[in-house]
């Protein structure tokens, strides 16, 4: 049974557009945690940027099999329409473009790297436009504890809402508040947060993450009235502050009493004290039941655009620069080194020192290309992802112009990266002393005619 998509794709696109507007108007956006390195999946070594890179490679392998199968087997066979025609048109256009730059001798070598890098960077840039990337992932409690002292470090986060059984969403209307922050709030502010169905920062007594570290059981206790609730919150906040202060001071002769548990303070390492090196802090994640209001929560995305990770952009830059040197040695042999170490005219020409300095600058420039490649791509795509976050937060009903902008930015950055690689490879094949090897062209003396034209002189 086959399904005829003719005339129905427009309705599918319309339904997806309507669904997008419904989600934008009903689900408040939350700005995710923005950090440069790729986030590591919980209890593992995989990062979300590496996972996205694997998906990019799988898509490239599928594209290779698809184009091989759709390619006409003979001159009489009519090529398929649709995506294959589009890809073939782009392929032929880029092939002719690179051929005009490099010529025929090393065209296949250079174009293979050009097209591979172009497709990898293009898909790595475009993956940030897929719904769910950077927004769907693992829930992670933003609290860490020192097992030696019991001190707890907490970062900013949100409370959770239950969407479906086992499916949660961050509540942008309820940023997580600690007992200390709740203690300085007015009663009106707490009641306002309680009306928004927030758990922290309300008239109810909520313990902090120290209770989880101490292993204390927690239950929500509605206050009898606002005065008793305020007194209870202030008492809890005072106790937590005293415990935290005692943990930070690290009294080696005493002990820190916390939530009914006494943790002995740890003596400093005498060897570290003698050398003056700071002791390494061993922090462990605070384990809490999903949705527990005693800790703040945030999302570690399953996937993130690979181009926003310096590891990926630096790896591509190293490949481009190293293979450029390989092509240079392949084309010119050991004479390729004279591009960087040009001592031929050092003793025979008064400008020999300048040639040596220019060669050293060329060598420095090769290393600078690695930084230029890596940080240009990283900066543009990382800034674009932050732009999408901010604009989706400020105007969630109209982010489409910025998605279209990032669509074309992804194409431009992929083309720039691949094109610079092709240009540098072509320059590596050019001999810097061709005139010495092939001889100077015969000079033809000229003389000025009476009317000012330049004509060849007679022997």
Q: DSSP labels for 188-256?
A: HHHHHHHHTT-SSSSSSB---THHHHHT-----B--SSHHHHHHHHHHHHHHHHHHHHHHHHT-TTSEE
| Residue 446 predicted with pLDDT over 80 | no
Residues 239, 334: Cα–Cα separation, whole Å: 74
pLDDT at 213: 67
pLDDT band at 444 (very low <50, low <70, confident <90, very high): very low
Domain extent listing, the chain: 47-72+83-133+304-431, 137-301
- Residue 147's contacts (CB-CB under 8 Å, 6 or more residues apart) are 282, 284
β-bridge mates for residue 153, sequence order: 144
pLDDT band at 223 (very low <50, low <70, confident <90, very high): very low
Give the pLDDT mean for 410-415.
95
- Give the residue from 211, 205, 209, 208 showing the smallest Cα distance to 258: 211
| Residue 412 predicted with pLDDT over 50 | yes
Does the model's pTM come out above 0.85? Answer: no
pLDDT at 1: 47
pLDDT at 26: 72
Cβ count within 10 A of residue 321: 19
Of the ranges 220-224, 315-319, 360-364, which one carries the lowest mean pLDDT score? 220-224
Residues 253, 316: Cα–Cα separation, whole Å: 55
pLDDT band at 242 (very low <50, low <70, confident <90, very high): very low
Residues 160, 179: Cα–Cα separation, whole Å: 18
Q: What is the Rg, in whole angstroms, of the alpha carbon atoms belonging to the chain?
A: 33
| Residue 80 predicted with pLDDT over 50 | yes
Greatest mean pLDDT range, 133-137, 152-156, 445-449: 133-137
Sign of CA dihedral 163, 166, 170, 175: positive
pLDDT at 439: 39
Residue scoring higher pLDDT (172 or 378): 378
Residue scoring higher pLDDT (93 or 247): 93
Average pLDDT, the chain: 76
310-332 vs 352-394: helix axis angle to the nearest 10?
150
Residue scoring higher pLDDT (227 or 390): 390
| Residue 110 predicted with pLDDT over 80 | yes
Give the pLDDT mean for 75-98.
85
SS3 174: strand
- Residue 324's contacts (CB-CB under 8 Å, 6 or more residues apart) are 421, 424, 425, 428
pLDDT at 253: 35
Question: Rounded to whole angstroms, what are the CA distances from 454 to 211, 457, 459?
Answer: 95, 9, 15
Residues 239, 241: Cα–Cα separation, whole Å: 5
Q: What is the DSSP letter of 319?
A: H
Question: Rounded to whole angstroms, what are the CA distances from 424 to 54, 95, 338, 380, 430?
Answer: 28, 17, 17, 21, 10
pLDDT at 397: 67
CB 178 within 8 A of CB 317: no
Residues 297, 294: Cα–Cα separation, whole Å: 10
β-bridge mates for residue 171, sequence order: 159
Question: Rounded to whole angstroms, what are the CA distances from 20 to 27, 356, 402?
Answer: 10, 61, 15
Residues 253, 266: Cα–Cα separation, whole Å: 9
- Mark residue 304 as left, alpha or beta (left: phi above 0; alpha: psi -120 to 50; beta: remaining): beta
Residues 182, 455: Cα–Cα separation, whole Å: 94
pLDDT at 457: 45
Residue scoring higher pLDDT (374 or 261): 374
Q: What is the dihedral of CA 104, 106, 110, 115, to 10 degrees?
A: 40
pLDDT at 304: 92
- Give the residue from 302, 357, 301, 305 showing the smallest Cα distance to 120: 305
pLDDT at 72: 81
| Residue 293 predicted with pLDDT over 90 | no
Question: Rounded to whole angstroms, what are the CA distances from 166 to 254, 286, 302?
Answer: 44, 20, 16
CB 297 within 8 A of CB 33: no
β-bridge mates for residue 161, sequence order: 169
Give the pLDDT mean for 271-297.
66
Buried b / exposed e across 145-160, counting CB within 10 Å, b at 16+? Answer: bbebbbbbebeebbbb
Residue scoring higher pLDDT (378 or 236): 378
pLDDT digits (tens, 9 = 90+) for 200-222: 888 887 777 777 766 633 344 44
């Amino acid at each position: 049974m086959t399904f005829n998509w003719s005339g129905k794709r427009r309705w599918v696109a319309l339904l997806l557009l309507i669904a997008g507007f419904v989600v934008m108007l009903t689900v408040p956006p939350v700005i995710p945690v923005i950090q440069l390195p790729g986030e590591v999946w919980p209890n593992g070594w995989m990062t979300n940027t590496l996972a996205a890179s694997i998906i990019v490679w799988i898509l490239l392998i599928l594209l290779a099999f698809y184009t091989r199968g759709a390619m006409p087997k003979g001159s009489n066979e009519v090529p398929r329409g649709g995506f294959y025609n589009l890809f073939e048109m782009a392929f032929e256009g880029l092939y002719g473009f690179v051929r005009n730059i490099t010529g025929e001798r090393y065209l296949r070598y250079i174009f293979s790297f050009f097209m591979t890098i172009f497709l990898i960077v293009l898909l790595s840039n475009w993956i940030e436009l897929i719904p769910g990337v950077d927004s769907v992932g693992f829930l992670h409690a933003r609290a860490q504890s020192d097992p030696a002292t019991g001190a707890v470090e907490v970062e900013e986060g949100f409370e959770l809402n239950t969407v479906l059984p086992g499916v949660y969403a961050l509540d942008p209307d309820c940023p997580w508040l600690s007992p200390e922050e709740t203690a300085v709030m007015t009663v009106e502010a707490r009641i306002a947060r309680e009306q928004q169905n927030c758990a922290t920062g309300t008239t109810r007594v909520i313990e902090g993450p120290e209770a989880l570290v101490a292993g204390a059981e927690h239950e929500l206790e509605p206050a009898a009235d606002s005065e008793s609730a305020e007194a209870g919150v202030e008492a809890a906040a005072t106790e937590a502050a005293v415990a935290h202060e005692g943990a930070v001071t690290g009294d080696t002769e005493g002990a820190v009493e916390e939530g009914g548990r006494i943790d002995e303070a740890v003596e400093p390492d005498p060897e570290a004290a003698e050398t003056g090196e700071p002791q390494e802090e061993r922090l462990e994640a605070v384990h809490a039941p999903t949705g527990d209001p005693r800790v703040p929560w945030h999302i570690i995305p399953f996937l993130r655009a690979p181009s926003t990770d310096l590891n990926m952009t630096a790896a591509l830059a190293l490949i481009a620069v190293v293979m450029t040197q390989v092509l240079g040695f392949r084309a010119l042999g050991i004479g390729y080194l004279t591009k960087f170490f040009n001592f031929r005219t050092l003793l025979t020409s008064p400008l020999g020192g300048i040639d040596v300095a220019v060669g050293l600058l060329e060598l420095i420039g090769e290393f600078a290309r690695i930084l230029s490649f890596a940080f240009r791509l990283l900066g543009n795509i990382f800034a674009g992802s932050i732009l999408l976050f901010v604009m989706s937060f400020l105007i969630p009903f109209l982010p489409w112009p910025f998605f279209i902008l990032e669509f074309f930015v992804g194409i431009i950055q992929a083309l720039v990266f691949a094109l610079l690689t092709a240009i540098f490879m072509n320059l590596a094949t050019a001999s810097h002393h061709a005139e010495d090897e092939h001889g100077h062209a015969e000079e033809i003396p000229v003389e000025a005619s009476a009317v000012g034209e330049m004509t060849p002189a007679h022997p």
